[in-house]
Amino acid sequence: MAADDSFDDYLADEKLRFAVERAFTVVGEALNKLRSIDPDTASRVPHLADIVAFRNVLVHAYADIDDRVVWAAATLRTPELLAAIDAMMPAHNARDPVALGLPSGPK
């Protein structure tokens, strides 16, 4: 999402900032629900409580958002989270749209 951008690019692009923040809110909400649905799987997600807390700050304390913290989470923490999630999924399902229940593409 922000991998090809610099922090200055991030600050200058309001759409990018909103997209990154929105992605974190969706991920945080999904992980919060995972804790209720499948606590065993949730326990294997690194920093789950911090991610959910970060989501809550983004949603409820918008005036207090520090762009440096969001940028650090996007560029430093997200790769670790993605690696952990990929490790939990069978290798053949990790990026396979059909295995994830998504359409396979144009017919």
The domain tally of the chain equals 1
Question: Within a domain: residue 2?
Answer: no
Question: Within a domain: residue 101?
Answer: no
Question: Within a domain: residue 106?
Answer: no
Question: Within a domain: residue 37?
Answer: yes
Question: Within a domain: residue 19?
Answer: yes
Cα separation, 27 vs 58, whole angstroms:
12
Question: Within a domain: residue 83?
Answer: yes
Cα separation, 107 vs 101, whole angstroms:
16
Per-residue confidence of the chain (107 residues) as pLDDT tens digits? 556 789 999 999 999 999 999 999 999 999 999 999 999 999 999 999 999 999 999 999 878 899 999 999 999 999 899 888 888 876 545 556 665 556 665 55
The domain containing residue 70 runs over which residues?
7-88
Cα separation, 23 vs 27, whole angstroms:
6
Question: Within a domain: residue 11?
Answer: yes
